[in-house]
Amino acid sequence: MYNKVVMDHFRNPRNVGVIEDADGVGEVGNPLCGDMMTIYLRIDENRIADIKFQTFGCGSAIAVSSMLTEIAQGKSLEEAKKITNKDVAKALEGLPKNKLHCSNLGADALQMAIKNYEDRLAGIEPPETVREEPHEHSHGDKCYCPYCDIELDDDVIFCDACQSSLEEEH
């Protein structure tokens, strides 16, 4: 199901844990799909000096979190802001198509953690809960039916191939 790189990051996840008194925290999650990620950052001179994650999710969600932390570690905030979910999937040498929707949230969590850090610097109170449920197709140009993997037009609400309703997904 998963390739070797994904399985390696799943079996030996890098940078697991919590940073106490982190400078920035980002949480994303979609309890309907099941994956939730928290990214913790320690920022030193506009660089990611330390990054840790916690993830509730499937094999690909854990691998995505682990890979993201490896990519982001040591990067300047400007560089880190450019990291996308697609970059993470690419570094993992690909994920199953139907996992691109709900498991590939690592970069979203990172961006939220950076924003959380910048908000704190600017004196903006973070909202009570920072968890959001992004539903945009952040994985790139193509959209696939999460139930049968068939490529879809971006705005359909029904998969003709497997007869699944996609209203919840869009």
Binding site for other proteins (CB under 8 A): 7, 10-11, 13, 16, 18, 27, 31-38, 54-62, 98-99, 101-103, 146-147, 163-164
Tokens of 9: 């990051």
For residue 59, the minimal CB distance to other proteins (Å) is: 5
In eight-state DSSP terms, residue 25 is E
Is 102 designated active site? yes
Which region, left, alpha or beta, applies to residue 99 given φ > 0 means left and ψ of -120 to 50 means alpha? alpha
CA 125 to centroid of chain Cα atoms:
23
For residue 39, the minimal CB distance to other proteins (Å) is: 10
- Tallying the residues shown for the chain, one arrives at 170
For residue 142, the minimal CB distance to other proteins (Å) is: 17
Closer to other proteins at the Cβ: 76 or 163?
A: 163
Whole-number Å distance between alpha carbons of 41 and 37: 13
| Catalytic residue of the set 33, 58, 143, 159 | 33
Active site residues: 33, 102
